[in-house]
Every structure is written in structure tokens, then in C-alpha cells.
Amino acid sequence: MQITDQKSLLSKEQLSLLKRCAKKTFVLGRYHSLDEILTKLNVEVIIEPGIQQRSIPSYLEESEKYWIDRLEEITDRDSMEFTDIRDDIRIIRREKELWRNMPLRGLYDPKNNIIKLFPEEMQTEYNGKCMDELLVSTLAHETMHAYFNRPRHKRMPYVLFVEEPLAEFGMLLYLKETRSSYYGWAHKDVSSKKTCYRYGAALMDQYLQGEASLRDYLKSYKIQLEDYVIPSCWNGTISLPQSGLSGSIVVGGKKVIPQWHGFFYDKQTETLGLDGDWRGRCVFDFMQERGRIYSYEKLKNIYIADGFRCDGHAYTLFSEKNVIVSPNNKTYKQGSNDIPLLRKDNTPCIEQNVDGLYKICRNGLWGVVDKQQNIIVPIKYGFVYTMDANELIMVVCPDFPPCQCGLVNRQGIEQVPLIYEQIAIKSDGTYRVKKSGKEYIIDKYGNRIH
């Protein structure tokens, strides 16, 4: 790493700190340290005097204009696209406001392939007491930009809303993985920012909570992204946009060119495409939130993209729609035997009834299948309930009201016929039932006791 400090703005200790930290092992792509990234990419680090006035990046001006133009093209003002773009413009305008007063600790100049650090600016922050933290974290942040700009990625666009949070994420990852004592400070510093930089701390949290794909995203960045994309932030969870080069997909014989923003909706084929990590997020809630377009009834197909993973909440939804799974998805594969989605170990990806049994819905009718996808309770009921202590499943006639229910056993046999308006299990294993307004007690074989 070549570091130039002509005006001797840094002490000997500070210079050697930077060099020492840059040498620490940190694997990113084919590089093994910040030092290696900077050396192999021929990036010079310059310690620059003075305080640089930050101007609003042209990217923000351009993207605001781009989205305003796009908004004007949309005639349907109730459409989700319209709402989304209007929200994006709001985010860009707020960001522009915030960038006006942001201190410039450092920068990466891709044209001259240099990193500049501004220690005199850093002196004005934290009462000048965090120089070491600021120097090291800024060097790491700018090194990320240099890494993103490695030769074969030169032609990819700079996407501010992705690259800045990602540079912060990379910086935090570097501090964490080199066991730096500055990590806690830096995480707090990033979290406290008001601009999109703060997403970097959220990404780090998501990574530590198991979203391992974020490290791959960082490693392979830059990727080809749509023009002026903004990553979606949903309940504090950041979904980074996927590569626009993923190309078209075919749904029901029709070609769809998805505009991924973590998800897409294609009106023509009534397809909702889902990508990214949905743990802790519920696809169903998402559908309701975006209800005007992704109305549940209207939706025909669900396309599961390469990176899609989710928790239990989405399974009911999947069991009622036509699901198409990308063959490259790491977690799921296309199901069979009426089960739309299977995990890679072949277990059904639908709501569990009890251990090893699953509730399945087809064309509005419900049944139960086992782990091997054998049908246990035929798919012909209005609803199936959870298996009780007698290993019986309450089922309801499909054409209720009036409600007529009975009990089905593990062999799928109706052990108690569907003649009761109500059935409730008691603690002694008998059932309190109601028929024509009268109450009885029956045993688990349907014999009347009282």
C-alpha cells in the first residue's frame, strides 16, 4: 500500500496504525487484506489537508429526474408502481437534503484511482478524540469503493443507494473479522447516520443473524443493476437489488422480464416474483400491504427466484397458487404430487399440522399429506384442523354453512362421521359434540356415551 502524507498531517503512530490494520487478514474475493486490494489495484492513499465541502452527488440529482420522468409516464395513479416511485422520489429528496451537511472524511476518486483521507475534518468530529477509529474505518470504507471499481467492473454504474451502504457494510465486516476493537464504535457511528449509509449497519446485523448471501453480494459487487435503483427497506430489513442481467423468465408460456426490487409483479401473467430473505417478514402481510395490486385472488403464479428463502408464514399462500421455482434456488425445489414447493431434502414446504404431517390446500379444498408427500387425509374438506391427543384430525364439510364436522384418523378414515355442528375434545379423551342444538358426549370411535 502506498500512502502519501506530504504535509505530515498524521503522526508516525497513526501512519503505522493504518499500515498495520491494512495488512490484517481479510478475505474479499481473491484478495486477502485491504493492503492487497490497494496494492494490486494500484490505488494510492493520500493524506489531504483541509476540509472538503461536500456537494450533493450528481447521482441524486440524476436519479430524482429519472424517477420524476418515469412517474409522469404512469397513467394509473392508484397503481403500486406509481406509489412505489413516488416513495422513491421522497427518499431521494430527503437524502439530498441530508447530504448537504455531511462531513467528508475521505473519498475514492475512480478517475485517478486514489483514496484521499481528510484528518483535519476528522479532528472536528467526536472532539478530535476518535482519530484512530475514523482513520481506520474511513480507509476501509474507501478501500471498498476501490474494490468495487476493480478493472472488469469499470463499466458498471455507481449506484449510490447500494454502494454507500455496502461500503459501510464491508468496512464493518472488515473490523469484525479482523477482531478490531473499533468495531463497536464504528457500528454505532454508522447506525447514527441519517443518510443511506446507516443501511450498512442494518446489513451487518442481517449478516450476523444468518443472511450469509450478503457477503457474496459484497464480494461480487459491482453487478449490473437497473437505473437508479433504491434498495427496499421493510421494517428495518434491507433488500439489496438483484442483478438486472438475470434475464427473462417464462411463466405459462409467456416471457416475463422481471424488474427486481427484491420482488416483482407482472400484470400480464399475474405473477408475483419473490427473491431474497423473508425470514421474520411475512409474504402474506406483504401481499396485504400491497393489496391493491397483489390481491390474493387475482394472483395466479408465484415465481421463486434464486435467492428466495422464507419462514413458515408464506406456505399457505404457496399451497393455493401455481408456484414456479427457479432451478438455481439453493433452498427449495419444484414440488410434485400437488405440493408446490419442496425443500432440498424433499420435505414439503407447507404449513405443518403436527410433526411430519402437513396441511395442504388445492382449489380451495383441504387435506393432509405426510413428509413423503403421501396423501393422508384426502384433499376434499372445507378445512382440516390440527391433530388432537387421540391422533384424530377434525375436518369440516366443504359446503358449510351449516357447519358439519367429523374426525379423521391417520389412515384417512372418517372415524367419526361428519354429522356434528361442533366437536371439542375433553381432557379425558372423549368429545363434547353438538347436533341439532343438543349436546352429547362421544368416544373417539363416535359411540355415544351420554
What's the closest the beta carbon of residue 347 comes to Zn ion, in angstroms? 44
Judged by CB under 5 A, the stretch of 12-20, 165-173, 338-346, 409-417 that binds Zn ion is 165-173
Residue nearest to Zn ion (CB): 167
Identity of the residue, 139 or 341, whose beta carbon is nearer to Zn ion in the bound complex: 139
Identity of the residue, 135 or 167, whose beta carbon is nearer to Zn ion in the bound complex: 167
Identity of the residue, 134 or 167, whose beta carbon is nearer to Zn ion in the bound complex: 167
Residues 295-324 interacting with Zn ion (rule: CB under 5 A):
none
Here the cell at position 340 is 408446490
Judged by CB under 5 A, the stretch of 24-32, 159-167, 288-296, 436-444 that binds Zn ion is 159-167
Judged by CB under 5 A, the stretch of 38-46, 162-170, 273-281, 418-426 that binds Zn ion is 162-170
Q: How far apart are CA 243 and CA 9, in angstroms?
A: 42
Q: How far apart are CA 55 and CA 99, in angstroms?
A: 7
Query: What is the distance, to the nearest Å, from the Cα of residue 4 to the centroid of all Cα atoms in its chain?
Result: 41
Judged by CB under 5 A, the stretch of 161-169, 288-296, 299-307, 401-409 that binds Zn ion is 161-169
Look up residue 448 and give its DSSP letter.
B
Element (H or E) spanning 61, and its range?
Answer: helix 58-73
Q: How far apart are CA 168 and CA 154, in angstroms?
A: 20
Judged by CB under 5 A, the stretch of 3-11, 167-175, 226-234, 394-402 that binds Zn ion is 167-175
Residue 67: count other Cβ atoms within 10 Å of its Cβ. 22
- The answer to whether 46 touches 107, Cβ cutoff 8 Å, is no
Q: How far apart are CA 76 and CA 83, in angstroms?
A: 10
Identity of the residue, 122 or 167, whose beta carbon is nearer to Zn ion in the bound complex: 167
Strand pairing class (271-274; 263-266): antiparallel
Cα dihedral 168, 171, 173, 175 sign: negative
- The answer to whether 134 touches 31, Cβ cutoff 8 Å, is no
Residue 204 class from Cβ within 10 Å (0-12 exposed, 13-18 middle, 19+ buried)? buried
What's the closest the beta carbon of residue 181 comes to Zn ion, in angstroms? 23
Identity of the residue, 55 or 436, whose beta carbon is nearer to Zn ion in the bound complex: 55
What's the closest the beta carbon of residue 201 comes to Zn ion, in angstroms? 14
Q: How far apart are CA 141 and CA 51, in angstroms?
A: 18
Residue of 69, 121, 112 whose CA lies nearest to 92 = 69
Judged by CB under 5 A, the stretch of 6-14, 92-100, 164-172, 214-222 that binds Zn ion is 164-172
Identity of the residue, 142 or 320, whose beta carbon is nearer to Zn ion in the bound complex: 142
Identity of the residue, 22 or 256, whose beta carbon is nearer to Zn ion in the bound complex: 22
What's the closest the beta carbon of residue 194 comes to Zn ion, in angstroms? 15
Identity of the residue, 77 or 111, whose beta carbon is nearer to Zn ion in the bound complex: 111
Residues 410-439 interacting with Zn ion (rule: CB under 5 A):
none
What's the closest the beta carbon of residue 193 comes to Zn ion, in angstroms? 11
What's the closest the beta carbon of residue 16 comes to Zn ion, in angstroms? 25
What's the closest the beta carbon of residue 148 comes to Zn ion, in angstroms? 10
Here the cell at position 157 is 454504474
Task: Please tell me the count of residues contacting Zn ion according to CB under 5 A.
Answer: 1
Helix (H, G, I), strand (E, B) or coil at 62: helix
Q: How far apart are CA 380 and CA 139, in angstroms?
A: 64
Q: How far apart are CA 117 and CA 137, in angstroms?
A: 11
Judged by CB under 5 A, the stretch of 37-45, 72-80, 160-168, 360-368 that binds Zn ion is 160-168
Strand pairing class (44-47; 2-4): parallel
Residues 238-277 interacting with Zn ion (rule: CB under 5 A):
none
Identity of the residue, 110 or 398, whose beta carbon is nearer to Zn ion in the bound complex: 110
Here the cell at position 263 is 420482488
What's the closest the beta carbon of residue 167 comes to Zn ion, in angstroms? 5
**Which residues contact Zn ion (rule: CB under 5 A)?**
167
